[in-house]
Each structure stands twice: as structure tokens, then as C-alpha cells.
Structure 1
Amino acid sequence: MYHVRLLKVPYIAPPPAKQQFTKKGPGANDGSSTKKFMIAATTTLTTELGEYYFYGTATVRASIFLKWEESVRRRKKHKLKKDESDKDVPVASGTWEWRPGMRALKMSLSLQTRAIRENSHEGRGPKFILRVEVVDDEHLVDENVLYEDEHGGPWKPRFLTIESMPFAIICADITQPLNAKVAFDREDALYVVRHAEIAGDDYTFCEEIGDSMAKHLWDSGLLLGDFLSASQDNKAVFVSQLLRDSRPLLRILELGCGCGTAGLILSRQFTASTVLLTDLESAADVCRLNIAVNPRQTSAHGTIEFSQFDWVLEHNTPTQLSRVTDTVWDVVVVCDCTYNTDSFDALTDVLLKTVDKKHGTRVVLVHKERHGSENRVFEMLKQKNALEVRWRQELGPSGMQARVDVLE
């Protein structure tokens, strides 16, 4: 699948020379012309590792929305019905064409000062979000991809919509857009958001802009979510593969969690579980943010936490090492970590410390096969860890080579 990515988050751009002013529109309450804020951003359409750009023609739509929290005041002020303000309110929108060979697309939207003035409250400006999506993606074809779907037809690429974090527009004089700036809360400018419904639950996944692989969402965890969402039978079969006997699953460890997608999904499926997400320090902030914005909904007994952990065992502090290796785990999850064959020795060494054969620890390997050498991990898991596949399920179109393997 392709990810719509923001390479540069919303910022104030100079307006076109001949479009700095518009005539006063209906509802304006002063005698001056209304100036425009030009909200700009740069986006791209790429695979999760950034190794391929979408090679086709697509229509990209960018929209600015007034956050729904702000619409409570809007409803009261404009006497709207409740169901008219329980969702984000669009205030600007535009479309652009992505063409084969492009690597980035610059966009800018005109936001009237009236949208800010009318929704300001007690000196505080309203919060907006920028949403970027590909329109009518079910009709698009990537000319460089020859995947087939499960029915033998051409695979249709899927594009994941993206949103900015909420932002405000700060300026001393609302009639002077060029002196304004886009302001995010804390370090929120570093992050963007994707929303997903997985097995009946709503998730919010945050990732960073930029090029760090550890801080982006990868396909396999999301494809696992698609599989669980497809039917209750899918969910029941997957859950049954992870449970030992009739006892509830209690202890889950994820190695190399990145943004924490797989661990977060499992924490919702097994609400009484203790889930520990681990990765290098570089992934700590984005993973903890995802834990915070995806609270557990039912059980007061389950927990989910992040802990820094390096697969090269001697690189860890005694506390970091003991937290991972001194627990008897029911399930160890490895999601989208097989792309780098150089890490197989370190990974299998960690599994020697975390998989208890007598206890019946099960390993969940969620991955995309990007090259044939990745299959060597199964040979190593069998020879070094005495682990063999007990259940295998393809995820997504067969051409994507994405699947989940449960080993024991």
C-alpha cells in the first residue's frame, strides 16, 4: 500500500501577488477587505520504507477542518443542531494532480480571516487540522506494480490518508496574514496522524514526519488489523492461535515495536494482558505518544508500556535487560523486522532469552517478504531456537507477500 506523507507540515506561505485581497463577503462585520491566510504543506505518495514512489496519476485532496471540539461553541453561536457539529467542520479545500515520476507535491489553501475571527473565543484562536487524501483510489493503477488480487485481477493500490496535528494561527493583527505563524502544541509539529478501525475499535496512530524508519507506520501491522477486521471468524482463529489451553493471555512482549502498531492492536484484543513494547531510544517518544492516544477501553487490570531495549544484549543497562529477559512471556511479537537480514543473529539471540519452550511461549512474526533472503530467518528460528510455524495466514493481496506466522 502507499502512504500519503507530509514532508512539511502546515505553515504560512506568502499569497500569490494578485490574490492578497478579496471583497468583503456575506457575514463580515467590519468595513475592510478580508485578507487570506495561505496555509501550505508538502506531501508525497510513497511506500512505507520510501523505496518506491507511486508511479501513476492521482488526484490529491487537501482540506482544512475546524476541530470538532471547537464546534461546540460554533453550534451555540450559529444555533446549529447537535448532529451538525459533532464532526470536524470543513473551512477550505483544494485538489492537485500527482503524476508519474513526481517525488513531492506542494499545496496551499486559502483560509479566510473570517474563519479564524468567528471561531475565536476569549482571545484564543481556534484549532484546525490539515487532512490530505487520494480521491477515488479504487480506480488507480501503479504502472510499475504487477500484483494480483485474490481473484487474479490487477491489484489496486491503497492510499492511507494523513492528518496534521491540531494547529492554531497566531498573529497580533488578524488582518496581517504575513505576520502570522502556524503554532502546534509542544512538539506536535513533529507528528502526523492516521485513523483506523480495527476489529470494531477505533485507533489513532501517530508517526513522525521525516525519514526515520523507526518512527513511521509500516504496512504489516496495519494489514494484520485489516485481517482481524474482516470477520469475527478471522479474529477468533487468530486469538485461538495465541492462547495456551483455556487460560487467558497475560504477558505480551513486542520486539522492535517502532510506533507500536501490533502491540497496541493485541492489547485491545486481550484486555487483561500485560503488554511491553520495546525498541531503541529513537522510537520512545512516538511509541509513548501512541500508547497515550489509544487508551485501553475495558479492563482495569491490563497494562501497556514502552521500555528501551537493544537486541545487542550488552548494549542494555541491567534494568533494561532484566525487564525483558526475567519475565516468562506468553507471546513475543516481531512485526516488520525481517527486512534487514543483518539483524537475524541478534534477533534469534534475543528470542533465546525471551521464549520459554517449557512454558509454551508463542512467537508472532508479522512481516512482508521484500526479498527472498528474508526466508533465512525461518531456518535460523528452527535451527537455533527450535521454533517452527504452527499457523500461517496471508495478509492482503498475495503479490504483497505479507503474512502473519505463529511459531512455537
Structure 2
Amino acid sequence: MKYFLMVDYYHIRLLKVQPVYAKGSKTGTIKAVFTLTTDLGEYFYPQHCRLQAVVVDVSKGKPTPLISECIIWKGYEVASTISLTIPATSNKLQLIILPQTITPNVSSHESHRILPVWSDSFSLHINEGPKYVWRYLEHNQWEPLGLCFMEQMGESIAKHIWDAGIVLSEKMIGQEPEWTFPKNKNLQVLELGAGCGILGISVASKYPNASICMTDLEEALGVLEPNIAKNKHLLHNNISTDVFLWSSQITPSLQKKWDYILMSDVMYNESSFSALETALKCLMCKQTKLFISYKKRHENEKAFMDHLLQWCSLEHETVLGSIILYSLVKK
């Protein structure tokens, strides 16, 4: 078992973006409401910190900054509002909110990683704000780099990336030995509960020899499939999607000898544990490695893992504060 420095993730979450423009005016206003919270919204960021709000013009492709302002998040605040005035000449805009620094906790045993957010593009002249936002794992200040993931705007916890998916994705694309695939081998990889697709898409970008099938409920594909399309230029035509309800029979398309099965942030609903375990028993064979990443939220997660360890062997365990990673094989 490996233990690492605890990192608390906090997500800057846009709740509403509203452009305001009066016809004939030389300027317009962007009003926004945002919060700074944990992935499921249980806790708000506890300290005062400086954030940066940037409005960029994306009408010509490459983002051109129009205005940048420092804003202060007050510890334990529920939500905050900002108002930014910009020239009315811009037709296609994005609002970005990002941290100015990463703040170490007083104890020095923890750090807070604040995840920035990019709004979807919108027009000042339509007086209607965006419905979605984007996350980038890599960025240079406000300039996005690499893979991106669309999330639903607002307070809902569905259709968002969650912490355990971020951690396992970064472990796998960072080439940490316990969490990597053989590079020169053709692999069949299945993801259960893919959500926004952060794990499967990250893996597909790194491993061109891996054929990855990402599964979830039908309603989740409305975010998953656009995320695959958005990142297509960084992938290798090696991703497919499928609808899979764990309590249903295994469809012929999923009846394969899977080399790896991936799961992140799927253990938040105790009522699904029995169906998930039954599905895993059917999907796994002797060669299959199961990678699980989850964030400790309640005791029932440990009970589920104890059930798995009755018929699976533990190969690796990594603990990063509240995030736990497991690598398992069938006994």
C-alpha cells in the first residue's frame, strides 16, 4: 500500500452566466454567479483566496483577452457574483475563472487544488448565457491545453467530473508503473459508469493500441459523446460507447475477454452495489485487471470492496487522502 500527500480538490463551478446588452450601446455586461465547492457540493472552500476572472473573444479561433479582474472568494461563502463590462464589438465570448495560486493548508500536510472553469461560448448580443462549461486538465493560466471535458452548468452534481476520475486519469497518463498498460500490446478495455468520460478519454489519448468501450446509462451519453468528439484530434479512433445497465443481461457487444475494466466514482449509490458486483463477475475473466478509483464518502464503500476481495486478489492499493485506488484480478 502506498500513501501520498492528501490533496483536497475544489471546483470553481459556474451557476449562471448572463450577458446584458442594450441595443446601440458601446459596452455590454457579463453577470455571473459562481461557487467554489467539493465535487458533490458537500463543502465550500474554507479559506479566503484570490481568483481571476477573464473574458476572452473566441470569434477568430484563438482566444483574445478583453478584460481580466481579480476577485476574492470569502471562506465558506455559498456563492459569489461578478459583473464585468466589455466592448460591445465582440460576438463570441468565453468567461474563465481560475485560481491565482494554489493555497497550502495551515498544517502543511494538505494542499488545496482549485480547478478552473471555462464557460461555453456565448454572444453578448443574444442576452442568453451558455448552458455548459469546460474543464481542462492542462492549461497555461487561462489558455487551455490538451484534453477538455464538457460539464453541465449549475448546481446539479450529475454530468460533472469528480475527483477520483481526475486522480486515476492523471496516474494512468502520467505513466506510474502500477497504473499503466503495456504499450505495444493490443488491449480490450471496458469502462463502467463513464460519466463525462474523463478516464476513458484520457486513457485513449495515451494508448493508441487500446480499444476502449465506454459505458453508462443512455442519458449520460448526451455529455459523453460530445466530449469524445471534442477531443477527437487527440485520440486514435479507438473509442466506442455503449449503453449498459448493470442489472441487465450482458449484451453480445460486451461479451469479450477484457484485458482491463476501469471504474471511477461509481460507488456513491449503495443500492447499485449488488448489480455492479454481479456484472463484474460476468465481465471479468482470469486475464482481466480491474482498476477502481473512489472517494471515501461512507462506510458502505468498504463493505463493497470487502465483497470484491472475496473473489478478487488485491495487486496494488494507493491512498491519497480520501481518494483510494485499487488494482484487482480475479482469483
Normalising by structure 1, report the TM-score. Answer: 0.71
Correspondence for 1:191: 132
Structure 1: unaligned runs, 5 residues or longer: 21-32, 72-86, 117-125, 171-179, 184-188, 315-319
2:120 to 165, 171, 192: 165
Pairs within 5 Å for 1:249-398? 249-295=186-232, 297=234, 299=236, 302-313=237-248, 321-324=251-254, 326-357=255-286, 360-383=287-310, 386-394=311-319, 398=320
Mark the CA change 1:214 to 1:306 in structure 2 (over 3 Å): closer, same or farther. Answer: farther
Larger % of helix: which? 1
**Which position in structure 2 is the counterpart of 1:138?**
103
Match of 2:309, SS state, is helix
1:205 to 143, 149, 154: 149
- Once the two structures are superposed, residues 243-264 of structure 1 have per-residue CA deviations (whole angstroms, 9 ceiling, x without a partner) of 4xx9714211111111111111
Q: Give the residue type in structure 2 aligned to 1:192.
A: V
| d(CA) in 1 for partners of 2:235, 2:111 | 37
Bigger proportion of residues as strand: 2
Q: How far does residue 53 in structure 1 lie from its aligned partner after superposition?
A: 1.1
What is the match of residue 3 of structure 1? 11
User: CA distance change for structure 1 residues 226 and 327 in 2, over 3 Å: closer, same or farther?
Assistant: closer
Provide the residue aligned with 1:224 in structure 2. Answer: 168
Question: CA separation in 2, counterparts of 1:296 and 1:36?
Answer: 36
Question: Which 10-residue stretch deviates more, 337-346 or 253-262?
Answer: 337-346
* TM superposition shift of 1:286: 0.6
The unaligned stretches of length 5 or more in structure 2 are 1-8, 140-144
Higher-Rg member (1/2) = 1
Name the residue aligned to 1:181: 127
* Cα pair distance change 1:363/1:229, threshold 3 Å: closer
Alpha carbons 1:7, 1:44 under 8 Å: kept: yes
Higher relative contact order (CA 8 A, sep 6+): 2
* Total equivalences in the alignment: 316
Distance in 2 (alpha carbons) for counterparts of 1:348 and 1:332: 13
Deviations for 1:6-37, whole angstroms, at most 9, x for unmatched residues?
Answer: 111x222479xxxx9xxxxxxxxxxxx96320
CA distance in structure 1 between the aligned counterparts of 2:43 and 2:252, rounded to whole angstroms? 40
Partner deviation per Cα, 1:149-174 (whole Å, 9 max, x = no partner): xxxx231211100001112233xxxx
1:59 aligns with 50
Give the Cα separation in 2 of the matches to 1:306 and 1:263.
10
For residues 407 and 304 of structure 1, the distance between their equivalents in structure 2, rounded to whole angstroms, comes to 23
TM-score by length of 2: 0.86
Distance 1:350 1:213, change over 3 A: farther
SS in 2 for 1:132: strand
Equivalent position SS for 1:157: strand
CA-based RMSD: 2.7
Indicate conservation of the 8 Å contact 2:169/2:198, yes or no: no
Q: Distance in 1 between matches of 2:220 and 2:156?
A: 9
Residues in 1 aligned to 2:121 and 2:276: alpha-carbon distance in whole angstroms: 38
Q: How many angstroms apart in 1 are the aligned matches of 2:257 and 2:137? A: 32
Aligned-partner SS, 1:137: coil
Alpha-carbon distance, 1:228 to partner: 4.5
CA deviation vs aligned residue, 1:124-145 (integer Å, no higher than 9, x gap): xx32111012222335x4x9xx
Q: In structure 2, the residue corresponding to 1:220 is in which secondary structure?
A: helix
Mapped to 1, the partners of 2:26 and 2:192 lie a distance apart of 52
SS in 2 for 1:215: coil
**Which residue of structure 2 lines up, in the alignment, with residue 214 of structure 1?**
158
Q: What is the CA-CA distance between 1:296 and the residue it aligns to? A: 5.6
Q: Which amino acid aligns with 2:245?
A: D
What code does the residue aligned with 2:81 have?
Answer: K
Question: Is the CA contact 2:264–2:293 (under 8 Å) kept in the aligned structure 1?
Answer: yes
